[in-house]
Structure formats: structure tokens, C-alpha cells
Amino acid sequence: MDKLNEIAVIVGIISAVSAWPIFKSIHSWWRKHQHKKSEQMVKVVTDANKPFIDAYEREHTAVITEIEKIKAGEIASLHDRVYQEGRRLLNQGWASMDDIDNFIHMYQPYRDLGGNGTGEAMGRRVMDLPVKEGTNTLVQEADRIHKEREEK
């Protein structure tokens, strides 16, 4: 009986070793089959969503184009205001704190939106003007209002 067990073990080992290439082939086939199914699923989902993706991309492009037009218009409008206010202050020869505050409120967004060098040149000239201080400026009043709000 021991001989029979030894023979069975030897046959089992030989069978397992010789069957390994078959199992490996089956496993490789299964992986390829699963991969092909996955690729088919991705294609089906992609094809089904293509009209939505295309519509989104067209709408996105249209929105970006519209935003760029609005931005260009805003830059032009702010450039005009910066230029007009700058010319007024330069002709006046001086600026109050309120004038400077007003100018900065126009100039900062203009510059941040990508305004060109003429606005920057105007901004530098305005900032170089002598400042005449009044007894009660809007800037000082605004500071008082902010402090009052903070105290509440």
C-alpha cells in the first residue's frame, strides 16, 4: 500500500507539473478576454456620452469666448476711466486722499485684468502727484465707519 501511495504522489506531481502550461494558457486567455470586455465597455460608455461631451465642450467654448469679450470691454472701460481721471488730476497738479483712493479703486482691477502699459504709466504719474489733505476726507470717514462697525 505504501508503494501505491508513493506512485499516486509521483503521478500527482507529474500531472501538476505537466498541467501548469495548460493552466497558464487558460489564465492568459481569461485575462485577455476580460481586458477585451473592459475595452468594449469603455467604448460603449464613451460612444453613449460623446453627444453630451461634445455639447458641453461647445457650450464651454461659447462661455469662455463671452467671458473674454466681457473682460475686454471691462478693460477698455476701466482704461478710459483711469485715463480720464488721471488726466484730470495731472491737469489739476495735485490730488486729495479721496482722489487717490478713487483712482486706486479704478486702477487695481484694470491692472489685475491685464490692462496695458499706458494705464500703468498714468498710474505712476498720478501716484507721484503732491497730495493735499482736507480736514475731512471720505477715506477718513470710511475708516471711522469701519471702526464703528468693528466695535459693535
CB contact at 8 A, 103 and 95: yes
Q: Cell numbers 453627444 correspond to what residue? A: 51
Give CA–CA dist 122/81, Å, rounded: 11
CB contact at 8 A, 100 and 126: yes
Q: Is the pLDDT of residue 124 over 60?
A: yes
**Cα distance from N-terminal residue to C-terminal residue, the chain:** 100
Who has greater pLDDT, 74 or 135?
74
For 23-59, the pLDDT digits (tens) are: 778 888 888 888 888 889 988 888 889 999 999 999 9
pLDDT (0 to 100) of residue 116: 81
- pLDDT over 70 percentage in the chain: 97
pTM flag (> 0.75)? no
DSSP 21-88: HHHHHHHHHHHHHHHHHHHHHHHHHHHHHHHHHHHHHHHHHHHHHHHHHHHHHHHHHHHHHHHHHHHH
- pLDDT over 90 percentage in the chain: 47
pLDDT-wise least confident of 40-44, 112-116, 130-134: 130-134
In b/e form, how buried is each residue of 22-45, taking b as 16+ CB within 10 angstroms? eeeeeeeeeeeeeeeeeeeeeeee
Average pLDDT over all residues of the chain: 87
Give CA–CA dist 119/83, Å, rounded: 7
